[in-house]
Amino acid sequence: MTAKLTQLAYHADEKDCALMLDQLLCFGSEPLSESAQSGIISRVTGKAEKEMTQAKPKKKIKRKLITFLVAAAILVPTGAYAAGRFFHKDNVEWYLKGSERIEQNENAVQNYVMENEEYKVTIDSQLSDGHNVMQIVTLEGKNSNAENKLAYCSGMLFTAKAEYSDGSDGPHFNNTENMFYSDGYAFGKHASSGDAKVVVYSCKDIDIKKDLKLTYYRAYGDIEGVEITSDREAEWGFEKVEGFEYTTNFAPNVKTAKLKNADGKEIFMSEFEIYTNDNHFPWNSYSDAHFDDGEFYFIKNNGEKAELDKEAHHCSSFDYYIFGEIIDPDEFKGVEIDGVQYLK
């Protein structure tokens, strides 16, 4: 297949290539079915084959366009969604400025859809540095009741139970239901509309070499108007969300650099966060204001300092700080935190 498409691309003229690119890359916000994808490839390659049988000389297209064309033609039929186009690109960019870096990383872009009669959930992007997995998730209600529930919840409406897909034991979590709880957050328009969230899964206690099956559940229980006392508890629990299962793995798919200060303290800088493995940040505050005051700097390879994007949506916890933007660790030799430098 690859050899054939390459041959056809080299004999197609520029108009043919423009047609293929337009059909492959500009088909809207939904993924094409397998039959539709095959149809596109068949129609365009068929035209190219017809042109090849004619005696007239063919006009060669530019090498850059050939490369793009062949890559797109190969990727679409094998399941990758148009070389990494997001279903909800605006949502991804809202939470991670510079999201074009993700588009260039095929392993980091999932565009995985789960759907039932009430909800449609798209995992637009999934990043892992081996410490945390960061998903940007778009949730859509398919009726007014579902829309209201999503808008009411500022975090992820669903939680997940994790099992190794090979059937081996684990993982196990420290709660009665053995549910895989995650951190989640939303900002601005998404917090009020309930349509896009960031979900952060910890890689701790997970074998990142194994595939995970995440089965999604929804919490239930109405405690409104119920007085909770030592001898009375509100009825609550989790119910499985039909049709919501996702098999993935937490293997790293972004760059990470290890940094040290003069005393040997280690921290790690990945493409989307900075973190420590000992549960203690080397700074005094986790608040966004702390960083916006200019006490955190990236140190470029030429020694210049650069601040975090002030418009990005930063988020922190006890052992990590998410930048709200995508960076390339290769472009920096370290960071400076509260006047202390951590360098490669």
DSSP per residue over 131-172, as a string? SEEEEEEEEEESSHHHHHHHHH-SS-SEEEEEEETT--S---
pLDDT, position 16: 55
pLDDT, position 46: 57
Angle subtended at Cα 40 by Cα 36 and Cα 41, rounded to the nearest 5 degrees: 120
Torsion over CA: 132, 138, 141, 147 (sign): positive
Indicate the burial class of 74 (C-beta count within 10 angstroms; 0-12, 13-18, 19 or more). Answer: middle
pLDDT, position 75: 44
Whether residue 171 has a cis bond before it, omega within 30° of 0: yes
Number of Cβ within 10 Å of residue 331's Cβ equals 11
d(Cα 122, Cα 88) in Å, to the nearest integer?
A: 9
pLDDT, position 20: 54
**What ranges do the domains of the chain cover?**
2-75, 89-248, 256-343
pLDDT, position 306: 93
pLDDT, position 253: 95
Per run of 10 residues, the mean pLDDT along the chain (length 344 residues) is 48 52 46 52 54 47 46 43 59 91 82 89 94 94 88 80 92 82 86 89 92 88 46 65 90 96 94 87 51 75 92 85 94 92 96
Q: Is 19 helix (H, G, I), strand (E, B) or coil?
A: helix
Looking at this protein, which amino acid is placed at residue 153?
C
pTM, to two decimals? 0.72
pLDDT, position 225: 43
d(Cα 215, Cα 70) in Å, to the nearest integer?
A: 36
Looking at this protein, which amino acid is placed at residue 289?
A
pLDDT, position 17: 53
Topology classification of domain 89-248: Immunoglobulin-like (2.60.40)
pLDDT, position 283: 59
**β-bridge partners, 136:** 125, 198
